[in-house]
Amino acid sequence: MPPPGLVGRVKALVLIGGFGTRLRPITYTVPKQLIPIAGKPVLYHVFDLIPPDIEEVVLATGYKSEVIEAYVRSHPPPWPVRLVAESEPLGTGGGMKNAGAGMSDPFYLLNSDVIAAADLGALRALHEHRGGVGTMALAEVEDTRPYGVAALGPDDRIEAFVEKPEPADAPSHWINAGFAIWAASVLERVPGGRPVSFEREVVPGLLSEGLFGFRLSRYWDDAGTPERILRSQQLLFDDARGGRAGLPAGALGSGPVAAAKGVRARGASFGKYVTLGEDVTVEPGAHIENSILMDGVYVEKEAMVLSSILGPRVRVRTGHRVAGQTLGEAVEA
């Protein structure tokens, strides 16, 4: 008999690979999952969706695994965590296979680069009610091209699934939101020993076993490009998940600003939607708006930073204006 309280507890597998090519040059040194959005890394916004009573969370890592590991050790989540790193990128399916030994039945599968309001407990309840091999959270988007798209039948049964279709071939506007619950048996359906796209190679073959959709009704966004990261930040602040979102001591303007420890910004001014990492300095007369400044960024007086993401220790010189840019670690602008 399992001990009381453990009955029905499940595990979660979080996919944390990929090179973050669309976020270079920042991702040469920082994995995309650790870029702070509205005060905390996107990975931790995903962690917030994982129910607290989870048995274990397995992080399937690859690129910059050691950076993820150091961050997770210094910012421990509320459940046990285990990292399984790939030496070569195995794709989403390969990552699941590589890290999936000992998974619970069912288990949650989560991508780590999306922002959403989603109730995974309700997702699981629906899965247990409807049965089948899995239940996938779906978000409704205008442009389906970068995503996996579902055709929905009665009871939200997924009748077709096409990864990244041409617009003419997209069966609907409901896309794989990057969260699902799967029967453990799906891991046996993933070929081993080579890179595998779970969405392209495995999911279509599972439809006949019963795959259902769980429609998200609040916000969802992909945080995989600079524009979408800044859009996600707005969503999070507007949803009041932006942490301590006032203004730094002695600063002027509207905010909201999510400021980490060690920020100095007296006499600087802030427009809407700003994240300041640890030990960021913004000198008097400088203005920041709709931007993310990572740890140790230094903005000199009278400079302006608009709609930009500045990697760790970037320095913006007196009077300079940075707009719509993504700058890698320690760049001078």
Contact window for ligand GDD (CB under 6 A) among 12-20, 21-29, 72-80, 236-244: 12-20
Q: From ligand GDD, Mg ion, none, which one binds at residue 256 (CB under 5 to 8 Å depending on kind)? A: none
10 Å CB burial of residue 87 (0-12, 13-18, 19+) is exposed
Indicate the residue among 161 and 298 with the shorter CB distance to ligand GDD: 161
Kind and range of the H or E run holding 193: none
The residue from 91, 311, 312, 328 that contacts ligand GDD (CB under 6 A) is: 91
CB of residue 194 vs ligand GDD: minimum separation in angstroms? 11
CB of residue 2 vs ligand GDD: minimum separation in angstroms? 29
**224 counts as binding ligand GDD under rule CB under 6 A:** yes
In angstroms, rounded to a whole number, what is the distance separating the alpha carbons of residues 299 and 304?
Answer: 8
Contact yes or no for 26/312 (Cβ under 8 A): no
Indicate the residue among 176 and 281 with the shorter CB distance to Mg ion: 176
Give a three-class secondary structure readout of 23-51. Answer: HCCHHHCCCHHHCEECCEEHHHHHHCCCC
**176 counts as binding ligand GDD under rule CB under 6 A:** yes
10 Å CB burial of residue 166 (0-12, 13-18, 19+) is exposed
Looking at the DSSP assignment, which residues form a beta bridge with residue 172? none
Q: Running DSSP on this structure, what letter comes out for residue 210?
A: T
Q: Which of residues 280-309 bind ligand GDD (CB under 6 A)?
A: none
Counting other chains too, the contacts that 76-82 makes at CB distance below 8 Å and 24 or more residues apart are 77/44, 77/47, 77/50, 78/52, 79/50, 79/52, 79/54, 79/55, 80/55, 80/56, 81/56, 81/57, 82/56, 82/57, 82/58
CB of residue 270 vs Mg ion: minimum separation in angstroms? 29
CB of residue 178 vs Mg ion: minimum separation in angstroms? 7
CB of residue 176 vs Mg ion: minimum separation in angstroms? 10
Site pattern 185..224 for Mg ion (x: CB under 5 A) = ---------------------------------------x
Neighbours of 137 (CB within 10 A): 26
Q: Maximum CA pair distance of the chain?
A: 69
CB of residue 333 vs ligand GDD: minimum separation in angstroms? 28
Contact window for ligand GDD (CB under 6 A) among 89-97, 207-215, 238-246, 249-257: 89-97
Residue 162: helix, strand or coil by DSSP? Answer: strand
CB of residue 4 vs ligand GDD: minimum separation in angstroms? 34
**221 counts as binding ligand GDD under rule CB under 6 A:** no
**289 counts as binding Mg ion under rule CB under 5 A:** no
Residue 115: helix, strand or coil by DSSP? Answer: strand
**15 counts as binding ligand GDD under rule CB under 6 A:** yes
CB of residue 112 vs ligand GDD: minimum separation in angstroms? 4
Ramachandran assignment for 259, one of left (phi > 0), alpha (psi -120 to 50 degrees), beta (any other): beta
Q: From ligand GDD, Mg ion, none, which one binds at residue 308 (CB under 5 to 8 Å depending on kind)? A: none
**86 counts as binding ligand GDD under rule CB under 6 A:** yes
In angstroms, rounded to a whole number, what is the distance separating the alpha carbons of residues 289 and 322?
Answer: 11
Number of H helices, E strands in the chain: 6, 26
The residue from 22, 56, 77, 89 that contacts ligand GDD (CB under 6 A) is: 89
Q: Look at strands 315-316 and 148-152 and give their pairing.
A: unpaired
The residue from 30, 38, 60, 274 that contacts ligand GDD (CB under 6 A) is: 60
The residue from 86, 113, 156, 283 that contacts Mg ion (CB under 5 A) is: 113
- Residues near ligand GDD (CB under 6 A): 15-18, 60, 62, 86, 89-92, 95, 111-114, 147-148, 163, 175-176, 178, 199, 222, 224
